[in-house]
Structure 1
């Protein structure tokens, strides 16, 4: 049981150490909305979302006021739209009408993002999948709150290299379509390997087909809490370091569990999972990079960074699992460059490169996240980076993702302002050597030998 004493214990973390519930995300199945008529389909989608989520935002605000726990975002995720629109959508333009319907529903419900404009193509693409993927640039440039993701690989199926090639092109097209807004559309587009069905964090959230009709998932974050705890054990050995992180993660997760249970009960919607992910913000004191530096690194990117991140990620998961029987989603430490002031500083001082970030993704929660690159980067290079990241996920049986932003008109040394929680980012160099012939081979990279566990 969770009681008010535990809530009171979090007051200091909330007031002084920037603990927050980053998001309450309502997952909504749209499978019962399917129809062969496009207008009927859009009407069904709008009605289902607005009916299920009508009290989401007000309930979140009530919980904030009652318990004093900040709930930064209220969000919605839906069934991957490629699975919903197949009967009615015969072209990319048809899918864009669904994106606009989702955007209107999100605005009317008062949520800041809606995820699930997605396709699952880890082994192959249907014509429907391809139509949705090709619609992404137009969909993201004509909406404000819709987020998109594409799963192009998994440990069980291998990597769909045709989809990898296409996604490199789509990222570039999305950058061009939103170039007047610092290519911000790419910040709402994630390319996954091993995408989870229950991730509450944007931009990669979608409501998996294994989920129920409606569910509440909560994402909780507190990098500042962990950093403050580590300041008290400065110079202690690794056993003390690990125990401190684990115990702190336990307390943070309990706060998320409370919010999840309260939201579930008040909305009459089943509780899904708590995702404890140390998701940083541009605010001072809310940085994963600063946690790693508190462990003893002069700067993130220094030798030892990957080991420190591995330790952090593992202990966060262990603490979360002790606190809740339903820890899921991604859970661990995020390393989005533009959203973490410590990461930005490390890039600016030359300590952190794209290659080092790739090495860190082997042990972090997700992957290459919110990284600005030159706008003239070839689509094939972006595809190569996606393939590398997918290979890490496939071989290591973990979720990996890429959210690159090729900012049109910007080059290495420039800085891009995204605003809000998305922060700002220095434009980082990418390897100038070509992988075009490799990407153009087409077909599929097969699943690794250790995937056969039946």
Structure 2
């Protein structure tokens, strides 16, 4: 039982250390909305979302007022649209029509973002999945709240390299279709390997088919809280360092547990998971990079950065699991460049490179996230980045992802601005040596030997 006293203990975390509940996300199954007619499908989707999520925003606001806990975003995830719309959508335009219906529904209920304009491929694409993927540039340039994801592989299935090659072209086309806003469409598009189906964080959230009709998931974030706690442990050995992170993560998770339980009760929707992810914002003091520097690094990117991130990620998970039996999603530490003040500075000063970021993704929660790259980067190079990250995820049995933004018209060192939580950052260099012959081979990379566990 969570008591009000436990919440009151977090007042300093909220007031001075930027602790917040980053999102209450309602997952909604759209499987029973399927129809052979696009217009009927859109009506069914709208009716379903509005009937279930109509009170989501007001409920989140009332919980925030009552407990004094900032709840930054209210969001929705839905069943991957490639599954729901396969019977009705026979053209790219049909899928764009569905994306617009999602956008209107999200606007009507007042949520910040809606995720699930997604396709899950790992061993081949159906015609419906291929159409949805090809629709992404238009869908993301013609909507405001829709977020999209494509899962191109897993440890159990291997990697669909046809999908990887296609996604390089799609990312580039999405950048071009939103060139007037620093290619911001790409901030709402993630390419996954081993995507979780209970992720409340965007842009990669969707409602997995293994879940029920509706569920409440909560994402909690508190890098500023962890940084403050670690300042009291300067000079301590690694045992004390780890214990400090773990205890702090425990307290943060308890706040999320309270919010999740209250939202579940008030909305009469089952509670799903708490995602305890140290997700930064562009504000100084709310940075995962600053946490790593407090651990003893002069700057993010210095030797030891990957080890420090591994410690942080593991202890956050351990603390969260101590506090709640329902920790899930991505839980750990995010390293999005454009959303993290210390990461931005390190990238600007040359301490943090794309290659070092790739090494860090072996131990963090996701992967290459929110990284502006030159607008003239080839589609094949983007596919190569996706393939590299997917391979890391596949071999290491973890979730990895790529969310890079080829900023059309901008080169290395120039600034790209995305606004809000998406922040902005310097364009970082990408190795210009060609990988075209590799990514265009086509076909499927088989699953690794350790995938056979039956």
Which residue matches 2:136? 136
Q: Once the 2 structures are TM-superposed, how far is the Cα of residue 348 of structure 1 from its aligned partner? A: 1.0
Is 1:386 matched with 2:375? no
TM-score by length of 2: 1.00
Shift in Å, 1:402: 0.2
Question: Secondary structure, in 3 states, of the residue corresponding to 2:215?
Answer: strand
Per-residue CA deviation, residues 315-365 of structure 1 (Å, 9 max, x unaligned), is: 000000000000000000000000000000001111000000000000000
CA offsets, 1:36-85, max 9 Å, x none? 01111110000000000010000000000000000000000000000000
Please report how far the alpha carbon of residue 123 of structure 1 lies from its aligned counterpart in structure 2 after TM superposition.
1.1
Corresponding residue of 2:417: 417
What whole-Å deviation, never above 9, does each CA across 1:226-251 have from its counterpart, x for those lacking one?
Answer: 00000001010000000000000000
Q: How far apart, CA to CA, are the structure 2 residues paired with 1:251 and 1:3? A: 12
Alignment of 1:4-83 (within 5 A): 4-83=4-83
Corresponding position of 1:329: 329
Give 2:226's aligned residue.
226
Structure 1 residue aligned with 2:195: 195
Q: Give the structure-1-normalised TM-score.
A: 1.00
SS at match of 2:338: coil
In the TM superposition, what are the counterparts of 1:100-111 in structure 2 within 5 Å?
A: 100-111=100-111
Measured on the aligned residues, the alpha-carbon RMSD in Å equals 0.4
Moved over 6 A (4+): none
Equivalent residue, structure 1, for 2:445: 445
Superposed CA offset, 1:196-234 (max 9, x none): 000000000000000100000000000000000000010
The aligned counterpart of 1:165 is 165
2:206 match: 206
**What is the CA distance between 1:181 and its match in structure 2?**
1.0
The Cα shift of 1:395 comes to 0.3
CA offsets per residue over residues 62-113 of structure 1, 9 Å max, x none?
0000000000000000000000000010011100000000000000010010
Structure 2 residue matching 1:338: 3-state secondary structure? helix
Matched, 1:276 2:276: yes
Whole-angstrom CA distance in 2 between matches of 1:222 and 1:295: 16
Q: C-alpha separation between the residues in 1 aligned to 2:440 and 2:37?
A: 37
2-structure distance, mates of 1:357, 1:449: 27
Give ranges in structure 1 of 5+ residues lacking alignment: none
Distance 2:421 2:448 in 1: 37
| d(CA) in 2 for partners of 1:280, 1:413 | 22
CA distance in 2, matches of 1:118, 1:37: 20
